[in-house]
Amino acid sequence: MADDPRSPDWNPRSDEVLGDQIRAYDTMRAQCPVAWSDYQHWTLFRHRDVMRVLEDHQTFSSAASNHVSVPNGMDPPEHTPYRRVIEPYFSKRAMSEFEPTCRSIARNLVNSLPDGQPFDVVEKFSRAFALQIQCAFMGWPDSLHEPLRQWVLKNHRATLARDRQAMAEVAHEFDDYIHDLLETRRQAGVNAPADVTTSLMEERVNGRPMTDAELTSLLRNWTVGELGTISASVSILLNYLSEHPDIRQSLANGTAGLSDAIDEILRMDAPLMSNRRITTRDVEIGGRQIPAGEKITILWASANRDERVFGDPDAFCPKKNRDQNLLYGAGVHVCPGAPLARMELRIVMEEFLAAVDTLKPAPDEQPERAAFPTGGFSYLPMIIGKRQG
């Protein structure tokens, strides 16, 4: 590859890469594991390089955004008190209390799916589940389902087009939703609903309440991440199980650990493609010299398929690969919402597997992959056959 760090090593937006991102990343991992591009800047493809970044937040800072990002875009010690506030919302007790609501949403959605007729998994199931489950967890009204669904689509279009003005407008629209939710609770006073959003408004960081800017950033990060990754995860899982009926049957029979299986499928096919960091000093990584102030793209979709760690990246080995799986990250920024995501995915798959006897692609229709920075599918036509009785 070229010695000049500003000479692109690859084009993440080329038709060749977007046509099969997973295979393109596999190729780059072997040929140029630390690569420069105008779009992603420095991209890390190998597991060990990603782990080095995750374990060294002093050199690889999370403050890679120009906007307030709570707590994702913070480093210790600033990050620590926010993280301490957040973690109890994903405790075992909190998950246990939310599980019945989660199961009811999942069951109702599975029951609503057409039997024996083609349908789009993304529109009718995965996105609907993500929207309903997030609103229920946060305590938001059902009336937000459709506006948020439209917002997700607009956000995706703006991001793909790299339209900064449209992205800013979409972000402002979401912030307006949050401001309305906060104001409604303030006006309700002691009669405000006892939900996660109200509780967050009462939290204190360093002895003071969070500002509206901090609350908005926190709720934006939770919601945008949840809506995107949960929807992508469900579509990936159903696609994989349609291609591997033996694994689907094993999971339906309860002869394999469902949670580990879900994590393993999502290791092979990432719902969250990447995260960003910024270098705080000159550093050498993977044989490349990277100056201070450079943006780094951590490519989960490649690191989690690294042959040096996992062997055949497409081999289904849940227990073997569990400890090295970076599905929820690692280090101080390991995803605090992992317990919630794991519970939601386990429950939606339990309900789906219990109700569905057959799962296959719809004939004469082609699925459409989502494009970076989104994982999963934008269109996934399927036919299910429901169990009788």
Domains and CATH numbers, the chain: 15-386 (1.10.630.10)
What is the per-residue pLDDT for 120?
Answer: 97
Calculate mean pLDDT across residues 303-322: 97
Determine the pLDDT at residue 1: 45
Cα torsion through 134, 113, 267, 360, rounded to 10: -170
**At 166, is the pLDDT very low, low, confident or very high (cuts 50, 70, 90)?**
confident
Euclidean distance between CA atoms 227 and 36, whole angstroms: 30
Residue 256 has pLDDT above 70, yes or no: no
Rg of the Cα trace of the chain? 21
Q: What is the mean pLDDT of residues 279-292?
A: 96
Whether residue 151 is predicted with pLDDT greater than 90 in this model: the reply is no
Q: How far apart are CA 78 and CA 75, in angstroms?
A: 6
Q: Two tokens at 5? A: 């760090």
pLDDT at 68: 77
* pLDDT of 213 above 70: yes
- Per-residue confidence (pLDDT) for residue 158, from 0 to 100: 78
Alpha helices (runs of H) in the chain, residue ranges in sequence order: 15-19, 21-31, 47-55, 79-86, 92-112, 121, 127-138, 145-161, 164-188, 196-201, 212-243, 245-252, 258-268, 300-303, 307-310, 318-321, 338-355
Greatest Cα pair distance in the chain: 66
Question: Is-contact 327 304, C-beta < 8 A?
Answer: yes
Q: Cis ω on the peptide bond leading into residue 12 (within 30° of 0)?
A: no
Answer yes or no: is pLDDT of 389 > 70. no
pLDDT, position 2: 45
Amino acid identity for residue 212 in this structure: D
